[in-house]
Copies of this chain bind each other. A is one copy, B any other.
Amino acid sequence: MSATFEPEAPQTLEGWFVLKEVYSVDWPKWRALDPETRDKAIASAEQWLDVAPSDRQGGSAVYSVLTQKGDLMFVHYRSSPDELNRVELSLRQLPLFEFLVPAGSFLSVIELELDELAAIARRKLTDQGIIPGAEQYDEFFETEMAKQKQRLKDRLFPKIPNTRYICFYPMTRRRGGRVNWYTLAENERRELMRGVGRIGHAYHEQVTQIVSGAIGLDDWEWGVSLYADDMLVFKKLLYEMRFDTASALYAEFGPVHVGIRVNMDQLGDLLTGYLT
């Protein structure tokens, strides 16, 4: 066995660092405030969100969370963990923070596997009827790959999709004695990932999926965010996924959070209970 180190892990490219924070509102305490103080707290919170960075620097979004898992979810895209830390610290100084009870958070970084780019390129060709073995396939593939690489910046540093709903869950690949993602051969893993890709592709007009890596950053290996205007699509897409081998055998899922997008100027409505 050679002492030279040969990396086995798929090569990844990284984009925005992402922080998700869920809070429950301490409603009785909040409602006990006099209207003026409440308005000031809302105004300073809206301002805090408003000074959110330009697109080059990332973005922030707020969601009204369903169920007792929380009331508010903040999603922040930033170019470094230091900037996310500043976002956290500044939120904690807001008057509103006195009424927020931490209910969950996740740190990750948007990532793309190089293999995934190639898979996308192949699917684009297939959609046009250009199938491996076809004449000039290699040329077409190279051209498509070049396009994909151009689009890379948009995929690694996207805007937060402006859909009505978000569905977020963390996940980990199974590392059991019998079933273990990390002891599969590279081509087996690639084949399995293709299945995942196909299902995602089938829903790509209805759902935007953003995958971020969390190994070494948080307790799960990945975070998956789905953005759509129809909440049933989350269920349909993920139910399909369940039957896909990569998911059926090798995926372990963490807690699911679903939320409804709240515009900056709706925060007051949400906090007075009259979100429409």
Contacts and interface: CB of A to CB of B under 8 A. Distances in A.
A9 B180 CA distance: 24
B256 A235 contact: no
Q: Most chain-B CB neighbours within 10 Å: which of A102, A194, A199, A248? A: A248
30 contacts: A3-B126, A8-B244, A9-B239, A9-B240, A14-B232, A27-B92, A27-B97, A66-B85, A66-B107, A66-B217, A67-B105, A67-B218, A68-B103, A68-B104, A69-B105, A81-B165, A86-B275, A93-B273, A109-B232, A109-B235, A177-B177, A177-B179, A177-B249, A180-B249, A213-B239, A215-B235, A216-B235, A216-B237, A216-B256, A217-B231
B175 A176 contact: no
A66 to B, nearest CB: 5
Interface string A56-89: 0000000010111101000000001110111011
A236 B14 CA distance: 10
Counting every copy of the chain, the complex holds 5
Contact of A81 (B9, B66, B89, B219): B66
Contacts of A141: none
Contact of A92 (B106, B213, B273): B273
A133 interface: no
A90 B270 CA distance: 10
B234 A226 contact: no
Contact of A85 (B178, B240, B260): B260
Interface in A247-261: 247-249, 255-256, 258, 260
A103 B199 CA distance: 36
Contact of A217 (B8, B71, B256): B256
A265 to B, nearest CB: 17
Nearest to A64: B85
A167 B89 CA distance: 19
Nearest to A226: B216
A242 interface: yes
Given A3-B123, A17-B231, 13 more contacts: A8-B243, A12-B236, A24-B102, A27-B93, A27-B97, A66-B81, A89-B270, A89-B274, A89-B275, A107-B258, A182-B242, A183-B248, A216-B238
